[in-house]
Every structure is written in structure tokens, then in C-alpha cells.
Structure 1
Amino acid sequence: MEFDFGEAWRENSRFVKLLPQLQKTFILVKTNLKIWNEAVESCQGPLESIKNLSEQHRCTAQAQGVEEIVKKFPDLREKLLYKIDREIDSHVTHLYSALENCKEVCEKVVKQNERCQTLFNKAGDDLELLTRRSSTCPSIVEMLEWLQDTETLMMRQYSMRKHLVDKISSAARNEESSLYKQWSDQGRELQETVGGYLLFLEFFLEVKIAT
């Protein structure tokens, strides 16, 4: 099926390049949102482990009534705490690796957004074309706004999650359960907003654009 924005569109060579670029960009957003989601979902197991290990760390550090055992094995508590710390650190390493995938997604979206903005700046100020929409395709202005929203939300989410992992890696072990909850609370806005945009763009992303 072919999509056509009308004769006026085809007569403006600068606009002709912009619409296919927007289509390419949102296809990339759709594909990379899946990569983003897979990266975030892969963190659930390590985060649960960190939560449990933090509880073990706290119990070990605060254990009472073990004086006799400590007398026989004076370095036992320290060895246990060290072992737990190393296990937590290994899970934190996984979180950083997953976040690196999220960062790569952000960089791809930023690059595509820049290309769309460059073409838009060259396209002139024909408001009729920029705001033209159909029952199956949002306007250029709407798509550029959605793309900017997507970039902003992804960058914000990446920065917030990176900040939380940095806190986990340096936190006192009794703080990590609350950090786990904060991580779990993140992300709803990104999924709902970008998912909604892609739903509106479902037809546009599948059609061949007439040029």
C-alpha cells in the first residue's frame, strides 16, 4: 500500500526527503524500544538478588547473640560480609551492562532526531504542508514533537536509572531495598507515551511513501 501526501508535497523536494526520514526514524524507535525493554527486564533478576543480598548483609552485620562463634572465628563476620558484597557487586556489573544497551538506544534516537531536525530546518515554513494530516498519518509537526518527546523521555530514563545504579554501587547496604523500589517505579511514562505514539503511527510505518 502506498501513502501519498498530495501533489504539493511531491513538488517540494525538501519535504520529499523529510517524510521518509521520519518513517525510518520511528521504525528505528519501534525496534530499539524492544531492545530497551529487554535490557530493563534483564535487570529484574539481578535487582531481586541485590535486594535479598542486602537483607543478608544487614542481618549479618547486626546479628546478636553470636559472641561465642565470633570468639572461635573472629573474622567470620567480615568474611561473610565481604562475600555478600562481592555478590552484590557482580549483579551491579550486570545492571551497568544493561544500561549501556539503553545508552546506545538513546544515542541512536538522538542521531535520527538530529537528521530529522536538519531536514525540517531546510524544508522552509510552508505551514499548510507541515500541519497537513490524514486519517492514517499525523502531521509533520506532530511527528517531530513526538520524536522530541521520545528522545527526552529516553534520556531522562537512562539518566535516572544510571543514577540509581551508581547509588546502589556506593550505598550502605541497608539502603538498597529502597533503591530497588525506586528502580521498579521507573519507566511507566516512557512505555505509555512512546507506545501510544507508535500505535498512532502503525499504518504510517508500514506503507510505501510516494515520492
Structure 2
Amino acid sequence: MSSADLLSLHQQLNKCCETLKANESIWDSELAECKPLMSSLGNLALQFKALKNVQIANAPLASFPSLQELLGKLAEKMDALQSVRDAISKQVSAVFQFYEKNTDTLDIAGCVSRSAICPSISDMLEWLQYAYRYYHLQLVQRRNLLQTLTPNDLTLMEMTPKKWESLHSATGEERIAGISLFPRIDKTVP
């Protein structure tokens, strides 16, 4: 790969890492906003179970919070998480397309060489794939969890906040955080 192509690939990788870092905070924020909704969902299920034999229409609790409204808010949060995942996917795809477009001039030694201040291109590409898979899997698992909920299965709904929390992957987030540690590459190629 020519020096200019290598520099351009490093710049693309750097841009992708910056996108990951920016979207990581959005992802974390959206997940944090889901936590009270999930807790409310569990509490609502517990209350529904306790009131199962009560005629709610005749009680002061007739204006009980709407389950559909709560699930609607969670669906909105899932859409926001999908937007983050899509932005990451778009950026990662752009880097891989650039890399594949330049494979005919690719210098394998240049792609696998690393230094104390800069990981190799192959390492960065692997980390980007991992980041995409992490966000994709998190989104799919959380969306699937919400899709299993029904108003008739109060036990499942009550356990949902714990299941939601169990999907959190500290090691996955630590590995993603490593991506943002790349040095900024502007003018020179190591």
C-alpha cells in the first residue's frame, strides 16, 4: 500500500474510532434512561400480580400507569440505540470498504506492524469488528427481551429488570474503551 493510502487508511480508522467514542456516550445515556423504565416495568408487573383479584375499575387505582405507554417509551429508547448501532455500522463499513478497495496495493508487513504508540492496522480492524458486534448483539438481545413481554406473563415482566441488567457486559465495554485509546494520526504513518 502506498504511503498516501496507508495514511488515508489510518485517518479513516481514526475517524471511525472517534465516531465509536462519541456514540459510546450516547449509547450509555440511552441505556441509563432505560433503567428506570425497566424498574417501573418490574414494579408494575409486581403491582398487577398483587391486584390480580381486585376489580381495579371500582378502585381508586383505575388510572394505573399504562403498560402500553411504558413499553412504547422503551421502544423509543430501542430505536435510539439502533440509531447509535447504525452510525457505528456505517463508519466501520466505510473503513472496511476503503481497506478492501486498496488490497491490491496492500503491504502486509505495513498492516501487521505495530509500535508502542500505535496498534497495527490489522489490530484496529479487528477491534472495529468487535465493537460493531458488541453493539449489534447488545441491541438484538435487548430488543428480543422486550419482544418476549406480554401483559399475561407478569412473572416474566417482573424479572425483566434483572434480565436487562444481566445483558450488560463490563468486559465488552472495557474492550470498546480500548478502541478510543488510539493515538491521533494526522500527518505521518508509523
Q: 1:18 aligns with which of 3, 6, 9?
A: 9
SS in 2 for 1:43: helix
Aligned residue pair count: 186
Following superposition, the deviation at residue 101 of structure 1 comes to 1.2
Identity %: 22
Q: Of the candidates 122, 133, 158, which is equivalent to residue 101 of structure 2?
A: 122
2:174 matched to which residue of 1?
Answer: 192
Residue segments in structure 1 that go unaligned for 5+ positions in a row: 1-8, 64-69
Residue of structure 1 equivalent to 2:29 = 38
Shift of 1:96: 1.1
Instruction: Verify the 8 A CA contact 1:130 1:141 in the aligned structure 2.
Output: yes
Q: Which amino acid aligns with 1:178?
A: M
| CA RMSD after TM alignment | 2.3
Letter of the 1:34 counterpart: S
Alpha carbons 1:92, 1:169 under 8 Å: kept: no
Q: Give the ranges of 4+ consecutive aligned residues of structure 1 lying more than 6 Å apart after TM superposition.
A: none
Radius of gyration: which is bigger? 1
- Give me the TM-score of the superposition, normalised by structure 2: 0.87
Map 1:57-206 to 2 at 5 A: 57-62=48-53, 75-76=57-58, 80=61, 83-84=63-64, 86-124=65-103, 125-168=106-149, 172-188=153-169, 189-199=171-181, 201=182, 204-205=183-184
Instruction: Map Cα deviations across residues 87-129 of structure 1 (whole Å, 9 max, x no partner).
Output: 2222222211111111011111111111111111123331111
| Separation of aligned partners in 2, 1:148 and 1:171 | 39
Specify every segment of 5 or more residues in structure 2 that has no aligned partner in the other structure, as ranges: none
Provide the TM-score with structure 1 as the length reference.
0.79
